[in-house]
Amino acid sequence: MAFSTNQQGPSTSLSEINVTPLVDVMLVLLIIFMISAPLMQTGVTLELPLGNENLKQREDFILLSINAEGKHFLNDDYLQPEVILEKVKAKIAVSPDKTVYLRGDQGLTYGTVMSLVNQLKEAGIEEISLVTEPPKQS
pLDDT tens, the chain, 138 aa long = 555 555 555 666 777 888 899 999 999 999 999 888 877 666 666 666 666 555 555 556 788 888 888 888 888 888 887 888 888 888 888 877 778 888 888 888 888 888 888 888 888 888 888 887 776 665
- Burial class of 44 by CB neighbour count within 10 A (0 to 12, 13 to 18, 19+): middle
Amino acid letter, residue 32? I
Q: How many CA atoms lie within 13 A of 2 on its CB side?
A: 5
Task: Give the SS3 label for residue 35.
Answer: helix
- Positive or negative CA dihedral for 95, 124, 50, 135? negative
Q: Give the pLDDT score at 60.
A: 64
pTM, whole model, 2 decimals? 0.55
Q: Give the pLDDT score at 26.
A: 95
> Do 131 and 93 contact (CB within 8 A), yes or no?
no
Question: What structural domains does the chain harbor?
Answer: 61-130 (3.30.420.270)
